[in-house]
Amino acid sequence: MTERLARQYPPPDTVEDTTALEKTSSQEDTVWVADVAPEDAAITPASVPANDAAVSTLRTEDTTLGDTAGKAETAAQPSDISEVEHSLSSRWIIWLGGVAFALGGAFMVKYSVDAGLLSPGVRVTLGTIFGILMTGAGEVLRQRRALVPLLRDAPDYVPSAIAAAGLSLSFTAVYAAFALYQLLPALVAFGLLALFSLASSFLALRHGRFFAILGVLGGLVTPALVSTGSGNAWALFPYLLIIVATCLWISRQRAWLEIAVPTLVLAALWVLVWIFTNWGPGDILPTGLYLILLTTANSYMAQGASPDRQNIPTLQGLMPSHWITFISDIASLVCMLLLVSIVRLDHYSSLGIMLVTLNLAVHAHAVYRSAENDVAGIFAIASILFLFSTWHVPDFFEIQATLTGHNFQQFAWSPIAPPGMEKFITLVALYALGIGSVLFWICPRLLRTGVWASVGVATPILLLIITYWRVMDLEQNLPFAMVALGLCLAFTFAVTRMRQLDSTAQNVPVAAYASGATAALALAFTMILRDAWLSFALALELVALAYIWRKTEVSGLRRLALLLAVAVLCRLFLNDAVVEYHGEGPMPVFNWLFYGYGLTAVLFAVAAKIFETNGIQDRLLTVLKAGAILLFISFISLEIRVLFSEGGTLTSEPTGFEIAVQTLNWSLATLVLLWFEIQTDDKVLRALRRVMTALSVGALLVGGGLWNNELFDLEPDDSLPLFNLNFLQLLLPAFIFAAKAYLTYKAGRSGSAKRYGAVTFLVFWLWMTVEVHQFFGSSDWKGYGYSMAWLLYAIGLLSLGLRRQVSQIRMGGLAVLSIVVLKVFLIDMSELEGLARALSFMGLGGALIGIGYLYQRIKPTGKSVSAPS
């Protein structure tokens, strides 16, 4: 029989949508392989294979047809004008003729009404019969045409246009009989219109997608056009399910994306329409079953569109490779959210919870049957999380009249109170136990064992967090911590059982459950600890993840550790609440900073050491190393703030001594970073060193340069000469920058050496000037002191530059000497008097003569050494 059908209906050269379909001998259904099928063409019987034998015949001739088409295309390329002419003459004119014919029938009916020739009953009856005859005539013409060899392969739109016009005429006549003349009861009219819609959908297999569009619009709009007034959900949703399933099946057979999309949109829209217009007690069962079956039909419709979902066992394989897969995923998610919404509308009844459970079971079976359904299964679990996270949140439309703004937010997210709390906790426990146990049991049998093991770990943890949030409002609670500890023990047991399977494929599940155990333990700490202890617990989790990664080498653990490290750093650096961790009053010397920043920095460093392998520097190691350094520097800086600020808190006003110590601290941090950077050539250390250099230079400018600069202080300073704030904030940083200039010079970094040397030169000069200012106070000899100090500084620089043959140092000395000369002749001559003025000029003269003599004795070689010796 199949061979006879294949011989009777051989595949044509140009058939609508056959290029968009690919059916293998091992598949019963068409596979989506193209986004959009070719432009509409009349489908002959040969274009619709009767069974697998016909499909096999079509596939065996595919290569020959492709070669012939390729040769014909290269032989002659029709011009654009010819293509437009062919399209107008063979397609659009015929379809316009069909539309005109249908309108002519409508005008004929109108004329008969205006002239009073026929009664309304006769008119609609004749219109219906005439439409059916036209539809049949179009089908007969299509079949007759297929038997003529000369016309069989050429596209012809005449039969489809006639059939479409007839079907539209019949649909219009029946609707007129109901809406205009009240000749038909609503139930009969509803049934006839639904029958015409289904007929249009099935005729689409033979006449093209235009009939499918008629079927979708007619079938899904009919309930809005014809209402029985009963408001019966049991009558509406089974009908919609039949129409939707038919349209989705046809869109799958022909790879019609433009049919599948409006079908899914209208199918979901009907649920919203029903909720806002007709929702009543008892509607949850038909509506819920409709949503579950709609999700199932949607999953079937998109099967085969993204082959990677059946082959690639990683998260990458879940990415949709076809538009219909993406649309199907969105439709599944919307249906599940609607299911959760109607459960809420039904006040979390037992029937609603059973429907959610049924949806979960259906998708669990689908996931177990095929890896292609993994995304829908994940969405089903996500809907459970959404259900509990929004539990008892009131409808905004119900309370907006009484609560607005902040009051609404407080009411909506307030903790769950009895009696709803008992039901909430019971259901959470059952779902967490059920989902976790089932996924643990079937995980080794699934393609994506790692993904589902991670889902099986994450779901109970997230449900526990949601319960802790909704019941306790994230307050400290020992019973919840004990539950988290029990979860840790359960995951540890799962690790031991997974390791007994003795398969390398189980490394990822083992890592997932081990990570879940550490996460549950960290969560237990979180529930009994607060503030910085949470950051410390999360950092401890980092070390645990690093140890698990070292044992399993599962790459996903590195990504998880990266997210966790970023969360810890954001919590400690971008969280303004850290200043309130201590509460009121000054902080003691030993405070939360030691474990919040100090120990956390150590844990970051330990995790980085464990994660480091083969010298590879990835993003995780960058974050861990940088985080450890920043946390340690922040710990020292914040501890200095606590010790030396006015009020002994993180928000107290700074003192001059604190600013001086902070400047020294940041300068030392820069030196240490530079040392390790030179030893390891680490890019992370280089970036942090540059940041800390900018910060320390800024501290020198703001601290010793402006804030604590005694040159701008009009009040006398009683501090000791030399050993004072200037010693901490200027002299010691100057020596530190000199050491950095020396290190960079030895490392061959001339640019950095010059910059560090310049900072040393300026800071030391500033320190000398401030010390002279403090020593002389308001004495008339202060101006002479400046001149002598600067002159000695210039002589020292010139001597050092000449002996070490470093031109930059000599240039610095000459610059200082030039300023001294200008000062003596322009300022000292007018402001100094008596012995001070005489000594100033004599000292300058002697120094200039001595420098000249020094240049004669130690002649510069002309070589330019780019950095200090």
Matching residue, tokens 């999953």: 299
Dihedral pair phi/psi, residue 21, rounded to 5°:
-120, 145
Number of H helices, E strands in the chain: 37, 2
- How far lies 165's CA from each of 123, 449, 633, 784, in Å? 17, 54, 80, 111
Range with lowest mean pLDDT among 365-374, 406-415, 542-551, 837-846: 406-415
Per-residue model confidence (pLDDT) at position 291: 96
Buried b (16+ CB within 10 A) or exposed e, 134-163: bbeebbebbeebbeeeeebeebbbbbbbbb
- With a CB cutoff of 8 Å and minimum separation 6, the contacts of 53 are 2, 3, 5, 6
Q: Examine the pLDDT at 850 and tell me if it is beyond 70.
A: no
Most confident of the following: 71-85, 189-203, 466-480: 466-480
Per-residue model confidence (pLDDT) at position 610: 93
Residue 503's nearest CA partner among 456, 452, 552, 457 is 552
Q: Examine the pLDDT at 111 and tell me if it is beyond 80.
A: no
Per-residue model confidence (pLDDT) at position 755: 92
Per-residue model confidence (pLDDT) at position 666: 93
Most confident of the following: 83-92, 136-145, 182-191, 646-655: 646-655
Report whether 211 contacts 254 (CB < 8 A). Answer: no
Q: With cut-offs at 50, 70 and 90, classify the pLDDT of residue 30.
A: very low
Cα dihedral sign for 157, 158, 161, 164?
negative
For 702-743, the pLDDT digits (tens) are: 877 666 666 655 454 556 566 777 888 888 999 999 999 999
Q: With cut-offs at 50, 70 and 90, classify the pLDDT of residue 155.
A: low
Per-residue model confidence (pLDDT) at position 80: 56
Query: Using CA atoms, how far apart are residues 746 and 741, in angstroms rounded to an integer?
Result: 9
Residue 263's nearest CA partner among 223, 306, 300, 219 is 219
Domains of the chain, residue spans: 2-69, 420-519, 529-653, 779-869
Rounded to an integer, the average pLDDT of 91-115 is 59
Most confident of the following: 46-50, 110-114, 381-385, 854-858: 381-385
H-assigned helices in 681-781? 683-699, 725-726, 732-746, 750-776
Please list the residues that pair with 31 across neighbouring strands: 22
Task: With residue 484 as reference, give the H or E element that holds it.
Answer: helix 478-499
> 253 vs 216, which has greater pLDDT?
253
Q: Examine the pLDDT at 78 and tell me if it is beyond 50.
A: no
Q: How many CA atoms lie within 13 A of 199 on its CB side?
A: 18
Percent of the chain with pLDDT over 70: 71
For 419-453, the pLDDT digits (tens) are: 578 888 999 999 999 999 999 999 988 999 989 99
For 329-360, the pLDDT digits (tens) are: 999 999 999 999 999 888 889 999 999 999 99
Q: With cut-offs at 50, 70 and 90, classify the pLDDT of residue 659.
A: confident
Per-residue model confidence (pLDDT) at position 813: 79
Report whether 211 contacts 164 (CB < 8 A). Answer: yes
Per-residue model confidence (pLDDT) at position 294: 93
Cα dihedral sign for 567, 568, 574, 579?
positive
Rounded to an integer, the average pLDDT of 775-783 is 71
Q: Examine the pLDDT at 233 and tell me if it is beyond 80.
A: yes
Q: Examine the pLDDT at 61 and tell me if it is beyond 50.
A: no
Cα dihedral sign for 275, 277, 282, 288?
negative
Radius of gyration of the CA atoms of the chain, in A = 42
Q: Examine the pLDDT at 141 and tell me if it is beyond 90.
A: no
pTM > 0.75: no
For 536-558, the pLDDT digits (tens) are: 888 988 999 899 888 888 887 88
DSSP string across 254-290: HT-HHHHHHHHHHHHHHHHHHHHHT--TT-HHHHHHH
Instruction: Centre a 10 Å sphere on the Cβ of residue 817 and count the other Cβ atoms it contains.
Output: 21
Matching residue, tokens 């000069």: 765
- How far lies 61's CA from each of 10, 13, 30, in Å? 9, 10, 18
Per-residue model confidence (pLDDT) at position 633: 94
Report whether 412 contacts 394 (CB < 8 A). Answer: yes
Query: Using CA atoms, how far apart are residues 800 and 858, in angstroms rounded to an integer?
Result: 11
Q: Rounded mean pLDDT of the chain? A: 76
Query: Using CA atoms, how far apart are residues 474 and 366, in angstroms rounded to an integer?
Result: 36
Task: With residue 372 as reference, give the H or E element that holds it.
Answer: none
For 162-217, the pLDDT digits (tens) are: 777 777 777 777 767 776 667 878 778 777 777 777 777 777 777 777 777 777 77
- Residue 220 DSSP one-character state: H
Q: Examine the pLDDT at 456 and tell me if it is beyond 90.
A: yes
Residue 478's nearest CA partner among 533, 537, 528 is 528
Q: Which two tokens stand for residue 443?
A: 């995980």
